[in-house]
Structure 1
Amino acid sequence: MNKLLNANFSRLFKSRILFVCAGFMAVYAVAACLFCNYYGIGVAVDMLLLSGYGLGGVITVAGFIMAVLCSIFIGTEYSDGTIRNKLVVGHGRMQIYLANFITCALAGIVLNLIYGILICAVGIPIFGGFQIPPDTLLAMILDGLLVMVSYAAIFNLFTMLLGNKTTASVISLIGVVVIMCLCAYLILRLAEPEITELYNMVDGEYVVTRGPNPYYIEGFKRTVSQFVIDLMPSGQSLQLSRMSALYYWPLLLYSLGVILVTNTVGILAFRKKDLK
């Protein structure tokens, strides 16, 4: 395992895709600070820090970056025949799978740190220090790191089983868009008030009354909707960027569950995959 990790890390930190993704995160961080400062947008540095996960609380930036990084980095091993060579020299399939996951997870953490460091370096002198309570901020940061690791686990699964970086990239990006739209829709639906103003036409005039909101989700459907949002990395990303989660520490357990289940399924499936 150590030899696999050393080889992966050496290739990772020499790979062009990592530098491209790191450059994007760096530009994104600096641009966010300068944009808000130039247009006089009153925003706390906390919000800028959490914007690394979701732009405007709508677009899961982290998901798109990790989808591209993981699919290209791991897919290259297939196209170059590296995975077959690793098997030939005696490395086990589980070791190869986990080594790739750990490498992608580390890459995600590095990208997260690059964004966070630049936000603090540029944003704090302009907008001041953090306003979120330290315990809540710590929970958000830890949850954000595990979101990146969850993305790494999911996209590692796709790429290791598909074996083609182009196919893996397309499917991963489509998956991010679909889940992102689903979670964004559910978040908006859960934000609907239970009681709202209703407009009715009476004698040719609109009459405003208050009554039950037909778009309000309640009961079991509300519980399931919140569970889906909390479970999906994209749902957690959007909640982090909006600072709208009902809780943050329990979200860590959801991420750990996704990481464990995804890697277990991936290892079992990769053991049966025909690599010829």
Structure 2
Amino acid sequence: MSRLLSADFAKLKKNKFFWICMPGMFLFGIFTAVMHYIAMQQYGENEADITNILFIYALTVVFLIPAFVSLFVGTEYSDGTIRNKMIIGHTRAGIYLSDLIVCSVAGIGFCVSYIIGALLAALPLYTIDAGILEGVTKLVLCSFIMSVAFTALCILTAMLCQNKALTAVINILAACFLLVISLYVLNKLSEPEVYPGYSVMTDSGEVEVMENEPNPDYLRGTEREVYQFLNDFLPTGQAINITQRGAFSQSPGLLAAYSASIIIVSTGIGVFAFKKRDVK
């Protein structure tokens, strides 16, 4: 296993897409922090909150990870690397786990690169409240586990589909599909329980006060619990929640637990299926 990891990390160091994404995320972090600060100044806000922009990377990696995993693993198939690994005696489980670990490190690297860029630009400009550091740290750790969970799902597809182009299409479309579902779920959860009352002036000049009205689209009972579960469980839902500083999630610990379950289940299924796969 150590030899596999050593070889895969060596290949990662030479991967052009990885070295495009790393500085790209770093510069994106700087750009986001600076542009948000300028916007806050234009609106007359003297103190900008760093947490407003710190977690944007969580949604960005939703698209970077599928592309990277598809290219990284797909190249191993197209170059015959996976078949060569098996010929020299490496187990299929070891090959699968090695690719998962290396791609997971790359995904976390994208996150860290953005965070470093954003912090370097934000430290001299933004106000940082020491009281929020614990909450920020928890969300950052949740984002790392979420990225690994997303990587595990992409690895599952990439290791079972030997066509690099088809793998990329499947993974990216799946990411878009899950994101659309998560946005719909979040929109349903965001519905207000009641519509606030308002005042209107009648034709006779009298002011009529309208009372609060219940919102028929507000989710209640079991239906709300199902939507909340989907919001917390889906990696794309977690990405949106982390981007919005956990505003619509029950707790960071629950998000991490769901991500861990995705990693374990998808990896178990992937290893089992890969052992049965006819590698060409």
**Given the two structures, how large is their TM-score scaled by the length of structure 2?**
0.89
Amino acid at match of 1:190: L
Shift of 1:198: 8.6
Amino acid at match of 1:231: F
**Cα separation, partners in 2 of 1:130 and 1:111, compared to 1, 3 Å:** farther
Residue 7 of structure 1 is matched in structure 2 by 7
Same amino acid, percent of matched pairs: 30
1:194-205 superposed matches below 5 A: 194-197=193-196
Q: Whose radius of gyration is greater, 1 or 2?
A: 2
1:227-238 superposed matches below 5 A: 227-238=229-240
> Is structure 2 residue 89 aligned with structure 1 residue 90?
yes
Q: Any idea what SS the aligned residue of 2:270 has?
A: helix
Separation (CA, whole Å) in 2 of partners of 1:198 and 1:224: 30
Is contact 1:44–1:131 with CA below 8 Å preserved after alignment? no
Amino acid at match of 2:271: I
Q: Any idea what SS the aligned residue of 1:125 has?
A: coil
Amino acid at match of 1:256: A
Unaligned runs of 5+ in 2: none
Bigger mean CA deviation after superposition, 64-73 or 210-219 = 210-219
Residue 153 of structure 2 is matched in structure 1 by 154
**Cα separation, partners in 2 of 1:132 and 1:50, compared to 1, 3 Å:** farther
Separation (CA, whole Å) in 2 of partners of 1:137 and 1:268: 37
Superimposed CA distance per residue, residues 159-193 of structure 1 (whole angstroms, 9 cap, x where no aligned partner): 00112221111111111111111111111111111
> Is structure 2 residue 133 aligned with structure 1 residue 99?
no
Superimposed CA distance per residue, residues 31-75 of structure 1 (whole angstroms, 9 cap, x where no aligned partner): 10121123335541122211111xxxxxx2111010111110111
**Cα separation, partners in 2 of 1:207 and 1:167, compared to 1, 3 Å:** farther
Residue 68 of structure 1 is matched in structure 2 by 67
Superimposed CA distance per residue, residues 1-37 of structure 1 (whole angstroms, 9 cap, x where no aligned partner): 1111000000001110101111321221111012112
> Is structure 2 residue 112 aligned with structure 1 residue 108?
no
Is contact 2:23–2:113 with CA below 8 Å preserved after alignment? no
**Cα separation, partners in 2 of 1:207 and 1:159, compared to 1, 3 Å:** farther
Cα root mean square deviation, aligned = 2.0
Is contact 1:67–1:172 with CA below 8 Å preserved after alignment? yes
Separation (CA, whole Å) in 2 of partners of 1:177 and 1:142: 24
Is contact 1:21–1:69 with CA below 8 Å preserved after alignment? no
Separation (CA, whole Å) in 2 of partners of 1:156 and 1:209: 54
Separation (CA, whole Å) in 2 of partners of 1:164 and 1:116: 33
Shift of 1:231: 1.0
Residue 122 of structure 1 is matched in structure 2 by 121
Q: Any idea what SS the aligned residue of 2:34 has?
A: helix
Is contact 1:46–1:132 with CA below 8 Å preserved after alignment? no
**Cα separation, partners in 2 of 1:130 and 1:104, compared to 1, 3 Å:** farther
Separation (CA, whole Å) in 2 of partners of 1:198 and 1:265: 53
Amino acid at match of 2:13: F
Separation (CA, whole Å) in 2 of partners of 1:168 and 1:221: 34
Residue 265 of structure 2 is matched in structure 1 by 261
Is contact 1:8–1:103 with CA below 8 Å preserved after alignment? yes
Separation (CA, whole Å) in 2 of partners of 1:198 and 1:40: 32
Residue 33 of structure 1 is matched in structure 2 by 33
Shift of 1:134: 3.0
Superimposed CA distance per residue, residues 135-175 of structure 1 (whole angstroms, 9 cap, x where no aligned partner): 32221111011011111111111100112221111111111
Q: Any idea what SS the aligned residue of 1:217 has?
A: coil
1:164-183 superposed matches below 5 A: 164-183=163-182
Amino acid at match of 2:6: N
Superimposed CA distance per residue, residues 63-114 of structure 1 (whole angstroms, 9 cap, x where no aligned partner): 1010111110111000111101111111110000000000001101111111
Could you tell me which of 54, 61, 71 is aligned with 1:49? Answer: 54
Unaligned runs of 5+ in 1: 54-59
Shift of 1:128: 2.5
**Cα separation, partners in 2 of 1:124 and 1:130, compared to 1, 3 Å:** farther
